[in-house]
Structure 1
Amino acid sequence: MQNLIIFAHTFWKDSKVNRALLEELKNNKNVNVHNLTVIYPDGKINSVKSEVELLKEADNIIFQFPLFWFSMPSLLKEWQDLVLTDILHGSDSKALKNKTFKIITTAGGEKSFYDSLDFNISEILSPINVSFKYLGLKIKEPFCIYEANKDNLPIKEYLDIFK
């Protein structure tokens, strides 16, 4: 199974948690980490066709990002707007059918904070999931690391996602 992580982070230079997570994957041959923040430092997704090809090669597509204002970083949203629109209106709108999609996110707050809201983390992330479900992907439950800091990372659980 080929796992493709589409990753973005607004403050990548200062990242400790997501850097540590991605570092754990560097020798995993089943995971392709596609860091949009590094690939498109100007914030412009200028290679939509190659992005689509990456998705076609993957079995499992994973968005990984730190939660910003109850959503994804703007670069990841830009990617979603351009790439998924290209698929939907392109010659192969069923290209991702039956692949799986999952969100991995990190949150600075405690789980109890998110549980106290009117919406749990699955509901907060549902607009992202709906976009992929619309294209025929099977949606997996999100994996959220609450109170994320470099000293409390659930590395084993994180790595188990890619088995």
Structure 2
Amino acid sequence: MKVLVIVAHPNLEQSRVNKTWVNRLSQEENITVHHLYAAYPDWNIDVEKEQQLLLEHDRIVFQFPLYWYSTPALLKQWQDVVLTYGWAYGSEGNKLHGKEFVLAISTGGPASSYQAGGYNHYSMSEITRPLQAMANLTGMHFLPSFIVYGVRNLTDEQLQESAEQLVKHITNPLLRLGR
């Protein structure tokens, strides 16, 4: 199984968590790490190149820090221009049908903040509903997300362990079965 990790962090060098994840993921043979902000500093996205990358992989992962209950802006722009009608969705848009889709998200707040009655009032499942809908519309199978909460408080050991867990999660062939 070939995994494409689309990393969307506007300042990866300053990120403790996402940078560690990228460094660890880059060591894996069947994982392609694609950093959007490095590839497109001018936001001029090469649609054909991006669509080809998607076609070459079986599992697509969006890796990003949660920003204002959403993805960083370039990842939203990427969705708008790459996932086009007639290619990704619509009566003849079936290029992503059957592919698997996973989210890898880091948050500053603790898990208790992301539930009904919590600080943010909504669960992570509710917050990521637009991405679930995107996967559904494009025919991808939305798989369980990998989420690390409270990243500001992680020890170095916990950070390294989260990177190992991320690799195991996104390469798990049984993930689709909920295992």
TM-score (norm 1): 0.92
Aligned equivalents of 1:10 and 1:48: distance in 2?
Answer: 20
The aligned runs of 1:77-96 (5 Å cut-off) are 77-85=76-84, 87-88=87-88, 93-96=93-96
Alpha-carbon offset, residue 11 of structure 1: 2.4
The aligned runs of 1:95-114 (5 Å cut-off) are 95-114=95-114
> Which among 121, 134, 138 is matched to residue 137 of structure 2?
134
Aligned residue type for 1:110: P
Runs of 4+ in 1 over 3 A off after TM superposition: 88-92
Where relative contact order (Cα < 8 A, 6+ residues apart) is larger, the structure is 1
Corresponding pairs, count: 162
Give the structure 1 partner of residue 66 of structure 2.
67
* Contact 2:100–2:143 (CA under 8 A) maintained in structure 1: yes
Aligned equivalents of 1:29 and 1:90: distance in 2?
Answer: 34
* Contact 2:103–2:146 (CA under 8 A) maintained in structure 1: yes
TM-score (norm 2): 0.84
Segments of structure 2 that go 5 or more residues without pairing to the other structure are 173-179
Aligned equivalents of 1:74 and 1:134: distance in 2?
Answer: 21
* Contact 1:6–1:61 (CA under 8 A) maintained in structure 2: yes
Segments of structure 1 that go 5 or more residues without pairing to the other structure are none
* Contact 1:122–1:141 (CA under 8 A) maintained in structure 2: no
The aligned runs of 1:9-158 (5 Å cut-off) are 9-45=9-45, 47-85=46-84, 87-88=87-88, 93-115=93-115, 116=118, 117-149=120-152, 151=155, 152-153=158-159, 154-158=162-166
Post-superposition Cα deviations, 1:136-155, rounded to whole Å, max 9, x if no partner, equal 11001211100114623223
Aligned equivalents of 2:94 and 2:63: distance in 1?
Answer: 23
Aligned equivalents of 2:52 and 2:38: distance in 1?
Answer: 19
Report the secondary structure of 1:63's partner residue.
Answer: strand
Alpha-carbon offset, residue 90 of structure 1: 8.7
Identity level (%): 36
Aligned equivalents of 2:121 and 2:66: distance in 1?
Answer: 17
